[in-house]
Chains A and B, each alone.
Chain A
Amino acid sequence: MSIIRTENLNNFYGDLQVLKDINMEIEQGEVWVIIGPSGAGKSTLLRSLITLEDFTSGKIFLDDELFIHREDSKVVEQMEASRYKQKLLEMGMVFQRFNLFPNKTVLGNVTLAPMNVLGKSEEEANEIALNLINRVGLSDKVDFYPSKLSGGQQQRVAIARALAMEPEIMLFDEPTSALDPELVGEVLNVMKDLATQGMTMMVVSHEMGFAREVADKVIFMADGAILETGTPDELFTNPKTDKARQFLASIL
């Protein structure tokens, strides 16, 4: 069963087409790494899936059920409201710039949505949160405010915060590119753990080592389109298109 499937997803900013007929299907438990030059539309794709971006046209299916269908920038068909909301929560997202809530402690960041959106009691939310915070290795920072944490620690909190909503799939938009090089590893390790435990993941990242280690598929995007799909080995050692070859040469 596919967790997310898209049909001819298109997005325009004025005359600029940033997504071109994206047809993709990600299965339960798969880990995708999406690569491609800046401006390729990688962020726009993730943001469209999680409805941060109102794409121009196309369909998104979640668990084989129509989630939203848009044409001419307008909604044509959409899941019934309460179900739509619930389905949306099955996607978690981690941002390049963490976007932690600076007025909440680490624990507060992780418990906020479970308590206010899922209606969990404080006790229950705390228990889940402490578990997750432990899982990302930050048990000693529970009461810290984000500004007192390193970038790597903040990003790990952001991952725990997303996981607290018990998502089916996690979207990562360049989760390590705002980090100092020495902090990249700790975040990738948490993500590798997640992958090993069977989480479905779409990760925009140029970390080749990570891709080789955990990705089932590497997707190469350029100019708003998916140009190549393959295993890490296929794509990294044997790219078919010139664009991919050039791009890989530029980041190695």
Chain B
Amino acid sequence: MDTLQHMLSWMPALLNGAKITIALTICATVAGLIFSFFLALGKMSRNIIISKICSAYIFFFRGTPLLMQLYFIYYALPLLSPVLTINNRFLAAFIAYSLNSAAYCAEIVRAAIQSIDSGQFEAAKVLGLSHGQTMRLLIIPQSIRRLVPPIGNEFIMMLKDASLVSIIALADLTKVTRSISSSDATTLVYIPAMIIYLIITAFFTFVFNRIEAKMEERE
């Protein structure tokens, strides 16, 4: 009984941590996804300079550890120039995770766009639609359906990667768990914490499956 009491007393703090984890993951995935469309289209652009810049960006953010990117943005940028100081920890994490997730999502978006049948481009061209209109009205909407499963995956990965933010002392679920563990001198707190992670993961997996099913129904 005592143990249960104990666990319940941790709940408000754990749930606050979970809020940060979820908020960061959602904000960064949404921002990253939007940015990733520009990166993917840029990488596929016939303009060599744009294409190379986008490729380099993607290469960089996929090729270096997220942890280091986070470190760099929060700790190293202010040293380069005080103007680049980001005081808000959440904002710093948001920027790092968005930039990183954009690189991963860009490859997913590119693969989805390239999987669209070339007949779509031909039909659009014959009807006089410009390349931009074809992308905006046909190709991107069609690729969105194919994006849902891999972006769902990316989202779940990010949810767990979000635990890295404890290095900049942002109080996400992992950070809160560790604090409780050391202040209360108990390892028990890891149990409800992991259960909360599982519930969050299960919930978002369910949401993404629903979105996928809804889209399938329509087309």
The residues of A with any CB-CB pair to B shorter than 8 Å are 50-52, 85, 88-89, 91-93, 95, 97, 99-104, 112-113, 116-117, 145, 147, 158, 161-162, 165
User: Which residue of A is nearest B140, CB measured?
Assistant: A103
Q: Does B12 contact A (CB under 8 A)?
A: no
- Contact: B128 with A95, CB < 8 Å? no
Contacts of B141 in A (CB 8 A): 103
Distance of A6 from chain B, by nearest CB (Å):
18
Contacts of A100 in B (CB 8 A): 123
| Distance of B117 from chain A, by nearest CB (Å) | 7
- Size of the B side of the interface (Cβ < 8 Å), in residues, is 18
A99 touches B138 (CB 8 A): no
Chain A residues near B125 (CB, 8 Å)? 51-52
Which of B126, B142, B219 has most chain A Cβ within 10 Å? B126
Write out the residue numbers on chain A whose beta carbons fall within 8 Å of the beta carbon of B117: 99
Contact flags B156-179 to A (C-beta < 8 A → 1, else 0)? 000000000000000000000000
Contacts A93-B126, A99-B123 known; 7 new A-B pairs at CB < 8 A? A88-B128, A95-B122, A95-B123, A100-B123, A161-B127, A162-B127, A165-B127
**How distant is the Cα of A112 from the Cα of B138 in the complex, in angstroms?**
10
Q: Is the interface of B mostly helix, strand, loop or mixed?
A: helix
| Given the contacts A95-B122, A101-B123, A103-B141, A145 and B219 also touching, CB distance less than 8 Å | yes
- Please tell me if the beta carbons of A50 and B126 are within 8 angstroms of each other in the complex: yes
The one of B123, B127, B218 in contact with A145, judged by C-beta atoms closer than 8 angstroms, is: B218
Q: Which residues of chain B have C-beta atoms less than 8 A from A91's C-beta?
A: 126
| A130-B120 Cα distance, complex, nearest whole Å | 23
| Contact (Cβ within 8 A) B128 A85 | yes
Residues of chain B lying within 8 A (CB to CB) of residue A112: 127, 129, 137
Q: A188 vs B126: C-alpha distance in the bound complex, in angstroms?
A: 22
